Amino acid sequence: MKATQTLHDLGQSLWLDNITRDLLNSGTLKRYLGELSVTGLTSNPTIFDHAIKSSAYDEAIREGLEKGKSGGSLFFDLAMDDLTRAADLFRPIHDRTNGVDGWVSLEVSPLLAHDTARSIAAAKELSARAGRPNLFIKIPGTKEGLPAIEEAIFAGVPVNVTLLFSREQYVAAAESYLRGIERRLAAGLNPQVGSVASMFISRWDAAVAGKVPKPLNNRLGIAIAGRIYQAYLELLNTARSQRVYNAGARPQRLLWASTGTKDTQASDILYINALASPFTVNTMPEATLKALADHGEIGPVMAADGGDCEKVLAEFAKAGINVDALIALPSSSSFMPSRAPATSPTSRKCGG
C-alpha cells in the first residue's frame, strides 16, 4: 500500500499545494486523485506567479488583453479559471464527504493583509464570483485579518485562514471562526460554513538554520506543531465548541502547510512523517507528494498531548533561540516573504 493511502486511511486529508493549467490540461491532477489519494488543493499568488510563465496561459492572456484586462484583474481571472476547474474536479469528493473534504483555495490579494475592510469585500466578491461551494477564500491570520475572518464566516464565505505560525495565532484565528459561527446561529442562519486553519511549519526551521547545534536541526517546526496540535484537540473539546457543533456547525480543521523539506540533508518526507494526525489536512508540494508515494511506511501518529514539544522548545531556548521574538517579528525572521506576484501576466510576451 502506498504511504499516501496509509495517511488517508489514518484520517488525514492529503492536499496538493500547487495548481497550474498544465496540471489540469494534462490530466495529471485527476490522476493524483485516483492514484495518490489527493482530496483537495491549495494555491497562493506565488504559485500562480510561477504558473503563468508557462505558455499554457498565452491564449487566455491574449483574450484578457483584448477585453481590456491587465495587471491584478487579469491575474485573478487566470487564477479563477484554474481554481474553478479544480473545484469541479474535487466536487464529487466534497459531495461524498458532506463538505468535509474536496476543497480548493484562492487567496485574497496579499496587499490586503493589513486592510480589514478591503479583505472582507474581496473575500465576498471572490467567493460569489467563483460560485463553487468547495472553494475556500484564503485570508491571512494577521491582526487586521482576524475581524475579516469573522465577518467572512458570518457572511457564509468558507475561509482558509493562512499564514499562521504559533499556538497563539492559531487560537486567535479559531476564536474568529467561532465568533462568526455564533453570530450566524444568533441570526438564525445555517452554521455550516467550512474553514481550515493553516499552520506553516518548515519556515520555523528555515528561520533558525545555521543558528543552532546540529542535534536541533529541523526540530523547531515539529515542536511548534506539537504545541499547536495539543491546542487544536483541546479546543475541539471545549464546551463552547461543542455547543456550536451540537447546533449543526462543523469544526474548523487544522491544516499543516509549508511541509516540503527545505534541508537537502534531511528526509524528503520529514514533516509528512512527523505530522501524521487524524482529522487534519496536510497540503504538500508536488515533489513531496511524489516522494511520499515512493515510501512504504509512515511514522507514529502525533501525540495528543504534544509529546516532547515543550522539552524540545526548552532546548532551543538554551541554544539562544527566542521563539516568542520570532513569532512577534515574522517579517524580519523570513516567515512571511512577499506573496505578491512578482510578474504580472502583462509583463511578458505571450509565447515567451
Among all residues, which ones are annotated catalytic?
A: 138
Burial degree of 349 (CB within 10 A; 0-12, 13-18, 19+): exposed
Looking at residue 292, the DSSP 8-state letter turns out to be H
DSSP H helices, 111-189, are 116-130, 145-154, 167-186
The residue assigned the cell 484583474 is: 73
Secondary structure of residue 310 in the 3-state scheme? helix
Residue 70 and residue 126: Cα distance in Å, rounded? 17
To the nearest 10°, report the CA torsion of 72, 73, 79, 81.
Answer: -170
- Taking the C-alpha atoms of residue 339 and residue 330, their distance in angstroms, rounded to an integer, is 14
How far apart, in whole angstroms, are the C-alpha atoms of residue 309 and residue 229?
A: 10
Q: Which of 26, 35, 45, 46 is nearest to 8 (CA)?
A: 35
Calculate the alpha carbon distances from 143 to 2, 81, 178, 291 in Å. Answer: 41, 31, 16, 36
With contact defined as beta carbons under 8 Å apart, do 141 and 173 qualify? Answer: yes
Beta bridge pairs of residue 254? 197, 280
What is the rounded CA–CA span in Å between residue 76 and residue 52?
11
